[in-house]
Structures are given as structure tokens and as C-alpha cells.
């Protein structure tokens, strides 16, 4: 069975996941609610897509850093 979305690898952990950038609300990354500052922090450190698990980890790292 072929996926209609691209299978990519997370830039941080190299895990494969289905990217649904053209259907953002259905993409796994949309489950992680990031603030504007968290989004900016991630974009300053990574160029590509990240899996939801890594987004959660980086979000927590950011929140600990700004405390």
C-alpha cells in the first residue's frame, strides 16, 4: 500500500514518519501545541521536519531553559 504523503526522517532522531505538510491538521506534528517562542527556538536549531516525540522533547528543553 502506497502512502499519498511523503515518508521522511526526523532531523533530530532519524525516525521515519509520514509528513502531511499539505494536510497540516492531520499531520502528527500538529498534535504538539507550540508557542511562538518555542516555534522560533526550534526553527533556529533545525531546518527540517521533526517527529512529534522530538517536538515534545525540545519543547520541554526550551521551557526548562527559560525558567
Distances (CA, A) of 3 to 9, 40, 48, 51, 55: 15, 30, 20, 17, 23
- For residues 58 and 21, what is the distance between their CA atoms, to the nearest angstrom? 20
pLDDT confidence of residue 44:
96
Residue with the bigger pLDDT between 23 and 46: it is 46
Considering only CA atoms, which of 13, 37, 21 is closest in space to residue 29? 21
User: What's the pTM value of the predicted model, to 2 decimals?
Assistant: 0.84
Residue 16 region, left (φ>0) first, then alpha (ψ -120 to 50), else beta? beta
pLDDT confidence of residue 4:
67
pLDDT at 64 over 90: yes
pLDDT digits (tens, 9 = 90+) for 8-41: 999 999 999 988 877 767 888 888 999 999 999 9
Other CB atoms within a 10 A radius of the CB of residue 12 amount to 18
Amino acid at each position: 500500500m502506497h502512502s499519498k504523503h511523503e515518508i521522511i526522517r526526523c532531523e533530530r532522531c532519524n525516525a521515519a514518519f509520514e509528513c502531511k505538510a499539505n494536510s497540516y491538521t492531520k499531520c502528527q506534528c500538529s498534535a504538539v501545541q507550540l508557542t511562538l517562542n518555542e516555534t522560533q527556538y526550534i526553527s533556529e536549531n533545525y531546518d527540517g521536519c521533526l517527529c512529534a516525540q522530538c517536538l515534545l522533547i525540545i519543547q520541554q528543553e526550551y521551557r526548562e531553559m527559560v525558567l
